[in-house]
Amino acid sequence: MPQIVFLGAGSVVFTRQLLADLFRYDDLPPLRVVLYDIDAERLAVARGTAEQVAARFGREPEIVATLDRREALTGADFVINMIQVGGIAGTRIDLEVPAAAGLQQTIGDTTGVGGVFRALRTFPVLSGIAADMLDLCPDAWFLNYTNPMAMNVWWMSVVAPQLKTVGLCHSVYWTVHDLCALIGVPMEGTHYRAAGVNHQAWLVEWSRDGEDLYPRLREAIERDPELRRRVRVEIFTRIGFYPTETSEHSSEYLSWFLRSDEQIAKFRLRPLEYVGISEENVAEFEHAKAVIAAGLPLELEEGAAEYAPQVIHSILTGTERTIHANVVNRGLISNLPEGAVVEVPARVDASGVHPVPFGAIPTQGAALNRTYLSVAELTVEAARTGDPDRVRQAVLTDPNASSALTPEQIWALCDELTARHADFLPVALGGRLQNPVQ
């Protein structure tokens, strides 16, 4: 019986959607679903969610909930990672402390100072997961959703290169979905390919029935001046290819948008937006808990858009499909650094996930991608070597941070964030974590 493990299953809304997408397939064998979390209350809600979703689709999986990670991983075939180390309190620190210093972020979980410190407190836990997997389920697929995506997948390639690690993000799919809706073209039958880095990949090909759809997008932008007040449209206008993440995420990868109140207003950005999103997630958890306790049906979104259920379905049934995946660059994108983590199309079948060599991406896109990959590389090196200067140099390299703060201010900000996150950081980087493998 194939065993699917959810790490961080207490993220009940996401767990619910992944399970719904999985149980929509009626040709899967009987499954063993193992839910793991460090929070007993959240774990109980996750179990109730899994039981209800399975029943609604007429499935009868074996469902196990445990607070013991090693118990959860024993015998796993697929490990879906969606942990958030530090929780909403860590998110508040990542966003509010830099804001007080004059550095604005919108999401702060993937790049910039927020992404750097989120990565540094996630790496020790990933190291522990990797060690457990090598001992208990060395042949399992590690399907990562946790941000910062590129940094986390990169870290796994350092501490456990023999594990089958793939980073999964729905940004490419939803970008194409929304663009098709904007120009009034059905997504079904659309051909698209994107490549670059997570949250800053480039939609290099987008067509339907042989027609390049970019001219239609340019016409839509020309007709609607308000569209030109969106970050992604501005990037598309300047770079020539559409980036594959929301304007909120995209704004943090560059120095163009969050550097001044005028730019923030012009492009309709909301600094600290992820604090509100996190609070909404907490409210959604409380709502799900109440709904399950009352025996009422949970709301389910339509469609099988998430990649993890598709990967599992392909491997278990032999169904071939193409997704976009975050993997180590081994000859995949010729003008991005070897060994970095890139996002490319990948073929999935019974034998696993097979990234497709892309060749060179547009030079102007690669130039921007390299800046982010430098931030990621310095962050990984900081954790690998225990050199706290690399942490500060990673933030200094970030375009948004360096557009708002001086080097002296960046050093001081990193000192404060290190102190605030000390319980999750290793001693070598200024934290209190004695054993970096959790």
For this structure, is 199 an active site residue?
Answer: no
pLDDT at 12: 81
Q: Assess contact for 189 and 335: CB atoms under 8 A.
A: no
Pair of tokens at residue 360: 């060179």
Q: Assess contact for 32 and 53: CB atoms under 8 A.
A: no
Distance, CA of 50 to CA of 36 (rounded, Å): 12
Q: Are strands 141-144 and 78-81 parallel, antiparallel or unpaired?
A: parallel
Q: Assess contact for 32 and 64: CB atoms under 8 A.
A: yes
Q: Please tell me the pTM assigned to this model.
A: 0.97
Give the containing element (helix H, strand E) for 241.
Answer: none
- Average pLDDT per 10 consecutive residues for the chain, totaling 438 residues: 97 91 95 98 96 96 98 98 96 98 97 98 98 98 98 98 97 96 95 97 97 98 96 98 96 97 97 94 92 90 83 98 98 98 98 98 98 98 98 98 98 98 97 81
Say which of 170, 177, 287, 421 is annotated catalytic. Answer: 170
The neighbouring-strand residues paired with 80 are 6, 143
Q: Assess contact for 208 and 189: CB atoms under 8 A.
A: yes
Q: Are strands 341-349 and 62-66 parallel, antiparallel or unpaired?
A: unpaired
Pair of tokens at residue 230: 């969106």
pLDDT at 13: 84
Q: Which of 13, 28, 1, 16 is nearest to 310 (CA)?
A: 28
- Count CB atoms within 10 A of the CB of residue 177: 15
The neighbouring-strand residues paired with 128 are none
Residue 201 identity = A
